[in-house]
Amino acid sequence: MTTVRLEIEYDGSGFRGWAAQPGLRTVQGELEAALATVLREPVQLTVAGRTDAGVHALGQVASFVSEAEVPDDLTRRLNGVGPDDIAVIGARAVEDDFDARRSARSRSYLYRVLVRPAPSPFEQGRALWWPHRIDPEVLHECAAALPGTHDFTAFTPTQTDHVRFERDVLAAGWTTEGDILAFRITADAFMRNMVRVLVGTMLEVGNGRRTLDNFTQLLAGAPRSAAGDTAPPHGLYLEKVSY
Amino acid sequence: MTTVRLEIEYDGSGFRGWAAQPGLRTVQGELEAALATVLREPVQLTVAGRTDAGVHALGQVASFVSEAEVPDDLTRRLNGVGPDDIAVIGARAVEDDFDARRSARSRSYLYRVLVRPAPSPFEQGRALWWPHRIDPEVLHECAAALPGTHDFTAFTPTQTDHVRFERDVLAAGWTTEGDILAFRITADAFMRNMVRVLVGTMLEVGNGRRTLDNFTQLLAGAPRSAAGDTAPPHGLYLEKVSY
């Protein structure tokens, strides 16, 4: 028995999200099929961050327990049999008690916004195109309000399986990279749609349609209806998981 | 009569190159169709750099002469009717004697190489994947030999329409951007496949299969057979045209 930790990148455009669902193309489904081919046994993956349809990953982590001998060149063989929109960038044996989800201390997400009048062929499906007015200073002020423990009820759907709505935000900030405004946030854990609703709401502040005060007040457990739109999935990336 | 200058980006993956060809999807064909829709007259585009199938552009320039009134929001309207893999990032009236091809003083190309063991879902079709040994120092030495006037016969197909094989290279260099090795070269003009054969040959030097001396000797008019492979089109971008 070997516990194996995989580090994974994927372009979420062609997937109905991470979680395996019968008859749908999912990252978990494709990866488990590739693993079954290489290891000649069925395996079940545990993942650090379940991503929704269209959401990308640059540093997703998954783990599994294998009865089979795990080959040294597992990374290369998985990339050989798997699809082009998933890449395994690392695979290694870890301690028996490692679990990609439960062992994770924090997750970091990135949301990319393309700010320019024209769309971009290269950012199609990889950044939200925002040809509207935006004040980066105001975005910085929004992000500065995020670190700490807050009740994020306003930032997740009303119909929910979550039982606890507080999350610890360890870091959050916007940076400018050419035409791209990039939002990064690290927290112990995230609720469904949390980063996307945060971004959608901050863009309303940056656009002048909502005040900074209103935004910060939402962090005290306001209802979902008080926050802004859910930004589309194609700008979002699970960037890193820390253990 | 108005002469209009367009600045254009495109992802070359879905095109059989720039030049219009009956029955094939080309950048010129798609753009001329969009212009005909917006201007309600047929126009013919002149381009700074004719790119081959699969080659991208970040700063392509094209021009045309219009009999029609050119609307102020031409950029926005062209992006509205054109396909997603082409973006017009600027359109403006210029002096009558402007010609995107003849007026250009120099062109700059970029070639992107992804150097890491695993492929990348995000660089698929946008960078050459190079999981092999590479010495960036040797690549720097190759690039340092390029500025000046050289006979690039070795770096273009033997069957050719070119009559003059000397080109003036104004600048050339490799930079490292994360996992990407990026080669940039500016010259008065380029022959067919010139950047791709230069890159293919430099990669052989960087990999240890060819000496730096051999590479520099090719710049004195050696035959095509003496140079290396033609690197694939999907790593190449027309980055800038100067006037």
Segment B57-74, tens digit of pLDDT = 999 999 999 988 889 999
Contact by Cβ (8 Å): A124, A70: no
Reported confidence tier of residue A160, pLDDT bands at 50, 70, 90? confident
Looking at residue B163, its pLDDT comes to: 84
User: Mean pLDDT, to the nearest integer, of A48-72?
Assistant: 95
Distances (CA, A) of B138 to A74, A131, A133, B130, B203: 32, 43, 46, 16, 9
The pLDDT of residue B181 is above 90: yes
Q: What is the DSSP string of chain B?
A: -EEEEEEEEE-GGGSS-SS--TTS--HHHHHHHHHHHHHSS----EESSPPPTT-EEEEEEEEEEESSPPPTTHHHHHHHHS-TTEEEEEEEEE-TT--TTTT--EEEEEEEEE-SSS--TTTTTTSEE--S---HHHHHHHHHT-SEEEE-GGGS-SS---S--EEEEEEEEEEEETTEEEEEEEES---TTHHHHHHHHHHHHHTTSS-HHHHHHTTBT--GGGS-PPPPGGGEEEEEEE-
Contact by Cβ (8 Å): A184, A106: no
Alpha helices in A136-209 (DSSP H): 136-144, 194-206
Residues with Cβ within 8 Å of residue B180, at least 6 apart in sequence: B112, B113, B114, B115, B123, B127
Reported confidence tier of residue B111, pLDDT bands at 50, 70, 90? very high
The helix or strand, by DSSP H or E, that contains position A65, with its residue range, turns out to be: strand A56-66
User: Mean pLDDT, to the nearest integer, of A150-169?
Assistant: 92
DSSP 8-state code for residue A230? P
Q: Is some CB atom of chain B closer than 8 A to the CB atom of A170?
A: no
Q: Is some CB atom of chain B closer than 8 A to the CB atom of A163?
A: no
For B126, phi then psi, to 5°, come to -125, -10
| Rounded percentage of chain B residues whose pLDDT exceeds 90 | 95
Comparing C-alpha atoms, which of B181, B204, B54, B45 is closest to residue B110? Answer: B181
The pLDDT of residue A171 is above 90: yes
Give strand pairing partners of B42. none
Looking at residue A241, its pLDDT comes to: 98
Measure in Å the smallest separation between the Cα of A64 and chain B Cα atoms.
Answer: 20
Reported confidence tier of residue B101, pLDDT bands at 50, 70, 90? very high
Interface residue of B10, B89, B114, B234 to substitute, partner A, most A CBs within 10 Å: B89
The pLDDT of residue B221 is above 90: yes
The pLDDT of residue A159 is above 90: no
Report the SS3 class of residue A38: helix
Looking at residue A38, its pLDDT comes to: 96
Q: What is the rounded radius of gyration, in angstroms, for the C-alpha atoms of chain B?
A: 19
Distance CA B14, CA A124 (A): 14
DSSP 8-state code for residue A204? H
Residues 76-135 of A with CB under 8 A from B: 76, 79, 84-89, 116-122, 124, 126
To the query of whether residue A52 is one of the catalytic residues in this protein, the response is yes
Interchain proximity B124–A9, CB inside 8 Å: no
The pLDDT of residue B126 is above 90: yes
Looking at residue A69, its pLDDT comes to: 84
Looking at residue A58, its pLDDT comes to: 98
The pLDDT of residue A68 is above 90: no
The pLDDT of residue A139 is above 90: yes
User: Mean pLDDT, to the nearest integer, of A104-114?
Assistant: 98
CA atoms within 13 A on the CB side of B39: 24
**pLDDT per position as a tens digit, A172-228:** 999 999 999 999 999 999 999 999 999 999 999 999 999 999 999 999 999 999 999
**Across the interface, which of A85, A88, A118 has its CB nearest the CB of B75?**
A118
Q: How far is C-alpha B150 from the chain's CA centre?
A: 19
**Across the interface, which of B84, B87, B121 has its CB nearest the CB of A86?**
B121
The two tokens of residue B5 are 């200058």
Chain B residues lying within 8 Å of A112, measured CB to CB: none
Mean of the per-residue pLDDT values of chain B: 96
User: Mean pLDDT, to the nearest integer, of A59-76?
Assistant: 94
Interchain proximity A118–B79, CB inside 8 Å: yes
Count of CB pairs separated by less than 8 Å, A with B: 58
Distance CA A27, CA A86 (A): 8
Chain A residues lying within 8 Å of B121, measured CB to CB: 9-11, 84-87
User: Mean pLDDT, to the nearest integer, of A2-26?
Assistant: 97
The reported pTM is 0.94
More confident residue, B91 or B161: B91
Measure in Å the smallest separation between the Cα of A88 and chain B Cα atoms.
Answer: 7
